[in-house]
Chains A and B, each alone.
Chain A
Amino acid sequence: MTPALELRGLKKAFGGLPATNDVSLAVPPGERRLIIGPNGAGKTTLFNLVTGALKADAGTVRLFGEDISRLKPHQRAHRGLARTYQIITLFPRDSLEHNVVLSLLGLSNARWNTFRALAGEAALHAEARRILGLVGLEARAGRAIGEVSYGEKRRVEIAMALAQKPRLLLLDEPLAGLSREERSGIRALIKGIPRDVTVVMIEHDMDIALDLAERVTVLHYGNVIVEGTRGEVVADPRTREVYLGNQSATHTETADSDRDIHPRR
């Protein structure tokens, strides 16, 4: 079967420092894939290469078999790619509803209309409220982003991506900075994403993330070092070395400058 996402030989370096170093991977349709790795492993860079926010130095990105390597980010979005951001990237002065409407507009021809009032686009606004309802924020639809809690912003991030009705959804640390209760809420939300959406997720919270994912890819210094099912990856000694079993590393980690060279925590 054609993979939903297929990366081949993807490379990206910043000033000679490789952030993504010959990454190849394939995610079959419908899968929940978790990408883990220590800080600086190149996880977010990988997402930026997939969405086109960054241009790869080499390699190809295929979305359901189509080579999208040369497409601009907005063209990739039109082919069914959506993402959320690790650092919240919303329109803070606008309402939750307006944020989701902007997302809906992105794929609607109405976005070129310069004469009709946006406020009169009843269908768009109704759809935005329905999607906010999916993430439990319907009652907050009229609030400005700046007025709602951090946890609610995380939900809006997901709502905006869901509004795009993606075929492939990239979630960049959807649980970052959330309380335990908020985490389980988001977890339920991610669990509820229909199976015709393929989900690739970066996450540090292993308890929840491992539970959500079917397969796990471990990145380290821009390389894929382990890939497999939950059990395989957790049992693999290389995973333990770079990510889980950092017992020996923490002992040697004495100064901050040390952490820059060995970004293991």
Chain B
Amino acid sequence: MRWLAWAALALSLAAFPLLGGDFYVNLASQIFIAALFASSLNLLVGYGGLVSLGHAAWIGLAAYASAWLSLRLGLSHLASAPLALALAIAMAALFGWIALHASGLGFLMITLALAQVLWGTAYRWAAVTNGDNGLSGLTRPAPFGISLDRPAAFYYFALAIATVALWLMARFVASPFGAALRGTRDEPRRMAALGHNVWLVRWIAFVYSGFWGAVAGLLFVYYHKYVHPTTLSLTSSAEALLGVIAGGAGTLAGPVVGAAIVLILKNYVSAYLERWNMLLGLVFVLIVIFMPDGVVPGVRRAWARWQRR
């Protein structure tokens, strides 16, 4: 039964570009990117109990680095991608070291402040970032000589990367390290008394989560062929966090569902409704009222109740 469901999902994802129009194929590509981004944040929020409001740092930093390296240094995508990821990892190592001096609300505020520093830098350091105009004139990579300019081609590219990323994150969560991370979320003092280095576990999780956020950043800049300071804004961090919480923090499917809800509301509904933000707010109020721990755990519970009847 289980593998049948997986096969059906794989088949429909593979067939989608053949049936859907360009608008929907592009929307799906953006959902993959947002899902990957929210899932990376979920490692911290859901599994580590570390609520960050600065996750935009990683999508933005990788996007800017990749754009700058190809525009100003003329590097190929093959060279700029690992460099952008390395920069994001180094920055995540530093930010994590700073932010993990605090926990709880303090951690949230420090991550927010650090991401705001990057956002401000993107606005003000015009010589590098081109300020409010953003960096444009970018190209998409062409892996193995296959152009990704067609929506369907990019769709498969984003799907492949997101699938591998989610699979590795699922392994991470189910691994001994993942169990230790959840332990530090639930009872950090006990974990320390058991011999677990709570600080180091959290720091590694922070850097790992930043890495996947940066991978989402690369996909983001490849998709839009443009990067603007709003990528680094609080709104960008908050949208991802909203996706994680609405979908179900600490579940693998939750952030994927949550990110999809946010993106569909943002892109689809905004075409018909000018105040789409209001609808987004309303949807989240309803989710929080009826499924306080998110859509995925909520639906799962309802399903179990229905089966028992």
Contacts and interface: CB of A to CB of B under 8 A. Distances in A.
Interface in A41-82: 51-53, 72-74, 77-78, 82
A114 interface: yes
Given A73-B192, A89-B190, A111 B174 contact: no
A204 to B, nearest CB: 22
Contacts of B196: 74, 102, 105-106, 111
Contact of A113 (B176, B194, B208): B176
Contacts of B283: none
A5 to B, nearest CB: 16
B193 A82 contact: yes
A261 interface: no
A121 interface: yes
A118 interface: yes
Q: Is the interface of B mostly helix, strand, loop or mixed?
A: helix
Given A102-B180, A102-B183, A117 B195 contact: no
Contact of B177 (A101, A114, A160, A164): A114
B191 interface: yes
A126 interface: no
A164 B194 CA distance: 7
Interface string B188-209: 0111111111100000000010
B195 A78 contact: yes
Contact of B178 (A92, A110, A114, A160): A114
A118 B193 contact: no
A115 interface: yes
Given A77-B192, A101-B179, A114 B172 contact: yes
Interface in A83-109: 83, 85, 89-93, 98, 101-103, 105-108
B186 interface: yes
A164 B195 CA distance: 9
Contact of B189 (A53, A91, A92): A53
A72 B177 CA distance: 20
Contact of A121 (B176, B180, B192): B176
A52 B198 CA distance: 14
B175 A115 contact: yes
Given A91-B186, A91-B187, A117-B171, A112 B177 contact: yes
A74 B178 contact: no
Interface in B150-173: 168, 171-172
B176 A111 contact: yes
A174 to B, nearest CB: 15
B193 A77 contact: yes
A105 B179 contact: yes
Contacts of A115: 168, 171-172, 175
A139 interface: no
A121 B176 CA distance: 9
Contacts of A92: 186
A118 B194 contact: no
A118 B175 contact: yes
Interface string A102-141: 1101111011111111110100000000000000000000
B179 A102 contact: yes
Nearest to B179: A118
B192 A53 contact: yes
Contacts of B175: 113-118
17 contacts: A51-B193, A52-B192, A72-B192, A73-B189, A74-B197, A77-B192, A90-B190, A92-B186, A102-B183, A105-B194, A106-B195, A114-B172, A114-B177, A116-B171, A117-B174, A118-B176, A121-B176
Given A74-B197, A105-B176, A105-B196, 18 more contacts: A52-B192, A73-B192, A73-B193, A74-B193, A85-B190, A91-B186, A102-B179, A102-B194, A105-B194, A110-B176, A111-B196, A112-B176, A114-B177, A115-B171, A116-B171, A116-B175, A117-B175, A118-B174
**A-B pairs with the 6 shortest C-beta distances?**
A106-B195, A106-B194, A77-B195, A73-B192, A114-B177, A89-B190
Interface of A: 51-53, 72-74, 77-78, 82-83, 85, 89-93, 98, 101-103, 105-108, 110-119, 121, 160, 164
